[in-house]
């Protein structure tokens, strides 16, 4: 398995709206290897999710695992959020593409998402809590959006200063 390089803000590739994956491509051994490499990269980072654009692939898929034991890998190809609860939830988010920056983001507490799994089969998942937060964060990446986009101008500039500071330390 390969560790894939993660691109970081302000790389403009993080702002690209990704293209759907052709259903036939899911079975392709090269695509399956990519999924394994992304899961490996996510676990090594470590992160609870990773979207294709973060490894410089402009296609519509993501991997995630929000379990404590880190033993429940999930793959979503061409995910679409079909429903969002009115109930909101605030969670302190971070992003592997914006290292060292953490900020509260408000999102729907519950969602219903439809996607293809790694066998190319369609499934519908109802998620809430951290899983729902993570799925929304990852799907945003597929639409060229980042969690800092939700912050007020003041909080965003504070966050980006922290990023610069973290980079100077690194």
Interface positions with Ni ion (CB under 5 A): 95
47 vs 79 by CB, closer to ligand GNR: 47
Which residue of 96, 108, 113, 151 would you call a contact of ligand GNR, by CB under 6 A?
96
Q: Which stretch binds ligand GNR (CB under 6 A): 16-24, 77-85, 91-99, 159-167?
A: 91-99
Tell the smallest beta-carbon distance from residue 13 to ligand GNR (Å): 14
What is the set of active-site residues? Answer: 138
Tell the smallest beta-carbon distance from residue 147 to Ni ion (Å): 7
Which one of Ni ion, ligand GNR, none is in contact with 47 (Cβ closer than 5 to 8 A by kind)?
Answer: ligand GNR
Secondary structure of the chain in HEC code, one letter for each residue: CCCCCCCCCCCHHHHCCCECCCHHHHHCHHHHHHHHHHHHHHHHCCCCEEEHHHHCCCECEEEECCCCCCCCCEEEEEEEEEEECCCEEEEEECCCCCCCCCEEEEEECEEEEEEECCCCCEEEEEEEHHHHHHHHHHHHHHCCCCHHHHCCHHHHHHHHHHHHHHHHHC
Residue of minimal CB distance from ligand GNR? 47
Tell the smallest beta-carbon distance from residue 29 to ligand GNR (Å): 25
């Amino acid at each position: 398995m390969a560790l894939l390089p993660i691109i970081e803000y302000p790389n403009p590739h993080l702002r690209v709206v990704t293209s759907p994956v052709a259903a036939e491509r899911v079975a392709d051994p090269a695509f399956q290897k990519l999924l394994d490499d992304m899961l490996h990269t996510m676990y090594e980072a470590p992160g609870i999710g990773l979207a294709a654009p973060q490894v410089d692939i402009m296609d519509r898929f993501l991997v995630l695992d929000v379990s404590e034991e880190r033993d429940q890998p999930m793959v979503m190809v061409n995910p679409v959020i079909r429903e969002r609860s009115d109930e909101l939830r605030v969670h302190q988010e971070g992003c592997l593409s914006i290292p060292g920056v953490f900020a509260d983001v408000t999102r729907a507490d519950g969602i219903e998402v439809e996607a293809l799994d790694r066998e190319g089969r369609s499934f519908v998942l109802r998620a809430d809590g951290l899983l729902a937060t993570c799925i929304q964060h990852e799907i945003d990446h597929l639409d060229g959006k980042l969690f800092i986009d939700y912050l007020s101008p003041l909080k965003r500039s504070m966050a980006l200063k922290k990023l610069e500071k973290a980079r100077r330390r690194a």
